[in-house]
Amino acid sequence: METMRLNDVTANDLPWKIKYDASRCTMCGSCVATCSFKAIVPKVERRRMVFSEGNFPEPKARFSAVPVIRQTKSVRDYCRGCGMCEKVCPNDAIKPERNPDTRHPIITRCLGGDSIKRGGRKNLEGSTRTLDTIRVGRISQMTDPSLDAQRHTFDLLAPFGRILPPKKLPFTPDADQQLVTQELTPPVNWVYPVIIGDMSIGALSWRMWEGVAMAVAYLNEECGMPVRMCSGEGGVPVRLLKSKYLKYMILQIASGHFGWNRIANAMPHMVEDPAGILIKIGQGAKPGDGGLLMAQKVAEHIQAIRGVPKADLLSPPNHQGLYSIEESVQKMFLSFNSAFKFRVPVAIKVAASATSVSVFNNLVRDPYNIVGGFFLDGIDGGTGAAHEVSLDHTGHPIVSKLRDCYLAAVTQGRQGQIPLWAAGGLGKTGDLAADAFKMIALGANGVFTGKLILQMAGCIGNDLGRCNACNTGLCPAGITTQEPQLAHRLDPEKVAQNIVNYYLAMDQELKKLMAPIGNSSLPVGRSDALVSTDHAVADRLQIQHVC
């Protein structure tokens, strides 16, 4: 008998157990070849068979070597439950099963002496989502007529840029009573109210990024929907910077300033202005933390775009020279405004936190009208890589924080001047139109989304610990990897098609929600349209309670 080694890792210590039926397996090898995590391996098992051939029992033993598939028992190469092996097995011989007895969080820390890192989004079991307790309750059928969602013309446009109140517009009538402008007004782009959130070309595979960019171009040029995509921190390929498609891109700058050398060098060659600049101060999934791109994902083209060697790329938690967000933002706004000659709106993205309303308040009161948008990202936002402890335990839900910002602006009579954009777990149930509509009625001008875009492309990760290995560079779906053989699992054209179709469906659904409340433009702040079945939610958000 072997000595029992108490600290050896067994399948029962891991988050997923592989269920394997040797009697169905033909040893084709597809599952092992598919598993990017090396979580299953072919093995040979020694089997003993006892048989008796004569008329009377005369047991004999025969030994044979049987090839089988076995789960790797390692805290490094462990099964993520991605289900790719199940997908490729022609005989339904293998599948992962969630292990409720897992000791993985403990043994990983004990054996590694390092914090756990992963991608995805918050994995702690949530209670009912706030947005799911809210319904669109004010249907205007009797008092004023609902609209026809199929035939009415709707205006689904949201501002990206500072909106001046009428009294501040520098217009004066000339001798012919025509309005003339005396001075520059802040640039504003009117865009589709669902922006594709900031996912960098390092976090995403080049094929995924290409698919998203193709979808955006198609939505704009063939469907007439002015959808914009944010580059994320990490630069943009020079070919795109010099192309006419730049007008659909929002360029992001974050604390690492990755990729901006190339952007600055490409400026004289740009034939179009970008749709906007987004200064990222923080991210809802891991507030207080900078970006993180693990070395295994820093492929050659990423090194070229970012101008870095192959190494872990950690962005600092703060922008350099930061004394206050307001001061730093002001400096950066001025730089960008002058770089793009005041033609490109500049907005800021912060993580929802106990203090984000104060920051918003200060920006709303800024007399120079430099801030062209306030992007607020909540705790349920996704990320390509983070320390698990930050992902699970830091952050702020988006709904009440967005509402607080809107009501703070209302109190000052300045709502709408700095457009509010919200994100963080929106579309988590698969229905982004409903979440977007509710956030808009609570005061957002629009929303942005990232993780849902990955799911449209085929990401199989979820909030219950499935996959979430985006940080490893081994994405089994080819979405967040730079390994050529994995990236080639993804068909960029299929990605583009899925995103376009989702947007077309969502567009119809948004209209289906706007029509009954009688709005042909976005119902920003129309919280009278909402009711909540939860007393505490209704009180907190100042909407009607129903039961």
Q: Which of 461, 492, 518, 525 binds ligand SF4 (CB under 6 A)?
A: 461
Task: Tell how far CA 19 is from the center of its chain.
Answer: 32
Candidate ranges 267-275, 279-287, 366-374, 477-485; the one touching ligand SF4 (CB under 6 A):
477-485
The residue within the footprint of ligand SF4, chosen from 281, 346, 452, 454 (CB under 6 A), is: 454
85 binds ligand SF4 (CB under 6 A): yes
Contact 280, 252 (CB under 8 A): yes
Which residues does 186 contact at the CB level (< 8 Å), separation at least 6? 161, 162, 163, 164, 342, 345, 369, 370, 372
Provide the β-strand partners of residue 179: 173
Q: Closer to ligand SF4 by CB, 384 or 395: give it.
A: 384
User: Do 199 and 191 meet the contact criterion of CB atoms below 8 Å apart?
Assistant: no
What is the C-alpha separation between 342 and 283, in angstroms, rounded?
26
Whose Cβ is closer to ligand SF4: residue 19's or residue 343's? 19
Q: What is the DSSP letter of 463?
A: T
Is-contact 484 504, C-beta < 8 A? no
The closest of 197, 127, 126, 35 to 463, measured between CA atoms, is: 126
Query: CA 189, CA 343: separation in Å to the nearest integer?
Result: 10
> Residues of 440-472 as b/e, b for ≥16 C-beta within 10 angstroms?
bbbbbbbbbbbbbbbbbbbbbbbbebbbbbbbb
Tell me the residue nearest to ligand SF4 as measured from the CB.
461
- List the one residue from 480, 498, 527, 532 that touches ligand SF4 (CB under 6 A): 480
Only one of the segments 185-193, 233-241, 399-407, 455-463 lies at the binding site for ligand SF4 (rule: CB under 6 A); that segment is 455-463
Quick check: 136 and 517 in contact, CB under 8 A?
yes
Which H/E stretch holds residue 390? helix 388-393
Q: Binding residue for ligand SF4 (CB under 6 A) from 213, 470, 517, 531?
A: 470
Residue 80 binding ligand SF4, by CB under 6 A: yes
Establish if 201 lies at the interface with ligand SF4 (CB under 6 A).
no
Given candidates 15, 93, 120, 511, which one binds ligand SF4 under the rule CB under 6 A?
A: 120
Query: Is 467 marked within a binding site?
Result: no
> What residues between 21 and 50 interact with ligand SF4 by CB under 6 A?
34-35, 37, 39-40
Residue among 34 and 369 whose Cβ is closer to ligand SF4: 34
28 is in an annotated binding site: yes
With CB under 6 A as the contact rule, the residue among 475, 490, 538, 543 that binds ligand SF4 is 475
| Position 15 contacts ligand SF4 (CB under 6 A) | no
Residue 89 labelled as part of a binding site: yes
Q: Is 84 in the site for ligand SF4 (CB under 6 A)?
A: yes
Q: Could you tell me the CA-to-CA distances from 103 to 13, 15, 41, 137, 315 in Å, in that order?
A: 5, 8, 22, 46, 32
Other beta carbons within 10 Å of 308: 17
Instruction: Answer yes or no: is 459 a known binding residue.
Output: no
Residue with tokens 């072997």, as numbered in its chain: 2
Contact between 79 and ligand SF4 per CB under 6 A: yes
Q: Which of 15, 96, 202, 450 binds ligand SF4 (CB under 6 A)?
A: 96
Q: Residue 322 CB: number of other CB atoms within 10 A?
A: 16
**Segment lying near ligand SF4 (by CB under 6 A), choices 267-275, 353-361, 462-470, 489-497:** 462-470
427 binds ligand SF4 (CB under 6 A): no
> Which member of 9, 75, 82, 298 binds ligand SF4 (CB under 6 A)?
82
Are 236 and 304 in contact by the 8 Å Cβ rule? The answer is no
Question: Which two three-digit tokens encode residue 272?
Answer: 């179009």
Distance (Å, whole) CA 253 – CA 231: 9
State yes or no: 31 annotated in a binding site.
yes
Length of the chain, in residues: 547
- Answer yes or no whether residue 352 interacts with ligand SF4 by CB under 6 A: no
Please state, in angstroms and rounded to a whole number, the distance separating the CA atoms of residues 229 and 359. Answer: 25
Nearest approach, Cβ of 473 to ligand SF4 (angstroms)? 9
- Binding of ligand SF4 by 465 (CB under 6 A): no
531 binds ligand SF4 (CB under 6 A): no
Interaction between residue 83 and ligand SF4 (CB under 6 A): yes
Under rule CB under 6 A, residue 477 binds ligand SF4: yes
- Pick out residues in 152-171 that bind ligand SF4 (CB under 6 A): none
Options 313, 479, 499, 510; binder of ligand SF4; rule CB under 6 A:
479
Which residues, in sequence order, are bridge partners of residue 245? none
Note whether 196 binds ligand SF4 by CB under 6 A. Answer: no
Instruction: Determine the Cα–Cα distance for residues 17 and 521; give it in Å rounded to an integer.
Output: 51
What are the percentages of helix, strand and coil residues in the chain, rounded to 5? 30, 20, 50
Q: Does the annotation flag 35 for ligand binding?
A: yes
Tokens of 351: 């993580």
* Dist CA 385 CA 286 (whole Å): 9
Name the pairing type of β-strands 134-136 and 530-532: antiparallel
Task: Give the separation between CA 251 and CA 253, rounded to whole angstroms.
Answer: 7
Segment interacting with ligand SF4 (CB under 6 A) among 73-81, 227-235, 508-516, 531-539: 73-81
Per the annotation, does 79 bind a ligand? yes
On whether 547 is known to bind a ligand per the annotation, the reply is: no
Given 15, 119, 226, 235, the residue binding ligand SF4 (CB under 6 A): 119
Nearer to ligand SF4 among residue 108 and residue 532 (C-beta):
108
Residues 50-69 as x/- pattern, contact with ligand SF4 by CB under 6 A: --------------------
Site residues, ligand SF4 (CB under 6 A): 16, 18, 34-35, 37, 39-40, 79-85, 96, 119-120, 454, 459-461, 467-470, 475-477, 479-480
Residue numbers belonging to the annotated binding site for [4Fe-4S] cluster: 25, 28, 31, 35, 79, 82, 85, 89
Residue numbers belonging to the annotated binding site: 25, 28, 31, 35, 79, 82, 85, 89
